[in-house]
Amino acid sequence: MRAISITELNQQTSRVIRDVQEGEHVEISMHGRVVARLVPATEQVTWLERKKAEGRITPPSAPDAPLPDLVAVRSGLSLDQLIDESKGDH
Which tens digits make up the pLDDT trace of 6-41? 999 999 999 999 999 998 999 999 999 999 999 888
CATH number of 1-59: 3.40.1620.10
Which is it for strands 2-5 and 33-38: parallel, antiparallel or unpaired? unpaired
**Domain ranges, ordered by start, for the chain:** 1-59
Is a pLDDT exceeding 60 seen at residue 88?
yes
**Using CA of residue 80, residue 82, residue 87, residue 90, what is the dihedral sign?**
positive
Position 86 scores a pLDDT of 77
> pTM for the whole thing?
0.48
